[in-house]
Amino acid sequence: MQNNHKEHLYKILVVGDLGVGKTSIIKRYVHQNFSPNYRATIGVDFALKVINWDQETVRLQLWDIAGQERFGNMTRVYYREAMGAFIVFDVTRPSSFEAVTKWKEDLDSKLTLANGKNVAAVLLANKCDQGRDVLTNNGIQMEKF
């Protein structure tokens, strides 16, 4: 009997300003838990989400990049070989939404896929349970992203 099981590993970056909830999103997705206690990520942290789908195993290696790292020299090293990115902003902090474009520009300037194209990025709005001021007041800007 032939084994048709395939395995895939994808490195995914999670970026955004300090305190937008990148670590919380990752912990919720990978470990199904939430902690209201805030502890800033220093540098980078990692998590692995394993998904079994049909005859395939997908391993998502989630790289939690500290919010202040965009200004550091290490991001090029952290970004290397990533296949995609989540850019996170906090719906209660307009400045974190305004920084989304800068994060995308940072990704595009430091990371390209093997085919020369920019890495795909998904925009994640976090803390929606605490208010939607950024979403309602910046709807037009959000459509441009």
CB 103 within 8 A of CB 15: yes
Rg of the chain in Å (alpha carbons) = 16
Q: Which CATH architecture has domain 6-144?
A: 3-Layer(aba) Sandwich (3.40)
Which pLDDT belongs to residue 139? Answer: 53
Outline where DSSP puts E strands in the chain: 6-16, 44-53, 56-65, 84-90, 120-126
Per-residue pLDDT for 37 more than 50? yes
37-41, 96-100, 115-119: segment of lowest average pLDDT: 37-41
Task: Look at residue 140 in the predicted model and tell me its pLDDT.
Answer: 39
